[in-house]
Structure 1
Amino acid sequence: MDHQSLLDWEREHRAMKRTEDGFWRCFKRWREENREDYLRTFSGKLYDEFITVDNRSITLQYSFNRDEAFVLCTVNLLYVEQPIGTYAIEFFLQGAVADDFLAFEDGLLQDRMLKIKHQLRTARIALREGMDVETASRIAELPLSCVHVLKEKYVR
């Protein structure tokens, strides 16, 4: 299968969209069913509004152990524009889901999460003190879009 055939297969089966949707279902289920693991992994809870899913790759793979080919679609997971993990779905060539994988293993994840939480807290405090969104964004070193969300949803 050449790259164009792979891209045509992806469009026909909407594999990347299904992978993104699959991430959200898997993440929400994990968060509900394994609350302690979720809180430990991220040093507390996350704001869903700051999680973004970024297409990473689509590959055709053949496993001699399984004696079949499959397509693997992988997305990067970002929180406040910082990498936090990956999610992937294996598709059979007919388009059915074979398996999925959610991974947050990263040696720097805890440090990254602490920094992001500090930045969010700094922005919330700045907004509560009456600073405008642009100033709060600069002080907290956060994207302007994130500070807008904080102001609209979380600062009273």
Structure 2
Amino acid sequence: MDIKELKSFVLEKKLVEETIEGFWVAFNYWKKDSPKEFVKTFRKKFDPINLNIYVKHVSLRVTNWPDEDYNQIIVSANFEYSETTIGEYKMLFDHETGEIVDDTLHVYGRV
């Protein structure tokens, strides 16, 4: 397996940047659509300057085994508030085109 080729693809298609942008879109939708959950998560007054997102890992997922006809590159990012990890965001990309396939936002912490 050629890890350098995967890394080059991720960099060329700017998948990390897409993931960070996607995080903010998903986060703002969550804030708007689930205000009670948002307030429960951020018990203190929310200040976006204290929110940090960073890439945790990049992976290639082979699915529909053994046909291997539905595969994705996954960029997973954790997000922290005031140095406490409170969730994870994942964006899935088509492994051939780099197009976005899906994304998920999972908030599991409270600050």
Shorter-chain TM band: 0.7 to 0.9
The structure richer in strand per residue is: 2
Query: Secondary structure of the equivalent of 2:60?
Result: strand
TM superposition shift of 1:45: 4.4
Unaligned ranges ≥5, structure 2? none
C-alpha distance in structure 2 between counterparts of 1:81 and 1:97, whole Å: 29
Unaligned ranges ≥5, structure 1? 114-156
2:77 corresponding residue in structure 1: 75
Query: Secondary structure of the equivalent of 1:95?
Result: coil
C-alpha distance in structure 2 between counterparts of 1:104 and 1:10, whole Å: 25
2:103 corresponding residue in structure 1: 100
The TM-score with structure 2 as length reference comes to 0.88
1:116 corresponding residue in structure 2: none
The structure richer in helix per residue is: 1
Task: Indicate conservation of the 8 Å contact 1:38/1:45, yes or no.
Answer: no
Superposition misfits of 4+ residues, deviation over 4 angstroms? none
Superposed CA deviations along residues 59-103 of structure 1, whole A, max 9, x for unmatched, are 000111783111000111011122111101000121111110111
Greater relative contact order (Cα 8 A, min sep 6): structure 1 or 2?
2
The TM-score with structure 1 as length reference comes to 0.64
Superposed CA deviations along residues 102-135 of structure 1, whole A, max 9, x for unmatched, are 1112xxx33xx1xxxxxxxxxxxxxxxxxxxxxx
Q: 1:45–1:30: structure 2 CA closer, same or farther, 3 Å change rule? A: farther
RMSD (CA atoms): 1.7
Aligned match for 2:87, one of 81, 85, 88: 85
C-alpha distance in structure 1 between counterparts of 2:70 and 2:29, whole Å: 29
C-alpha distance in structure 1 between counterparts of 2:91 and 2:45, whole Å: 25
C-alpha distance in structure 2 between counterparts of 1:44 and 1:31, whole Å: 15
C-alpha distance in structure 1 between counterparts of 2:5 and 2:27, whole Å: 31
Indicate the percent of aligned positions where both proteins have the same amino acid: 24
Name the amino acid aligned to 2:37: D
Larger Rg: 1
* 1:23 and 2:16 correspond: no
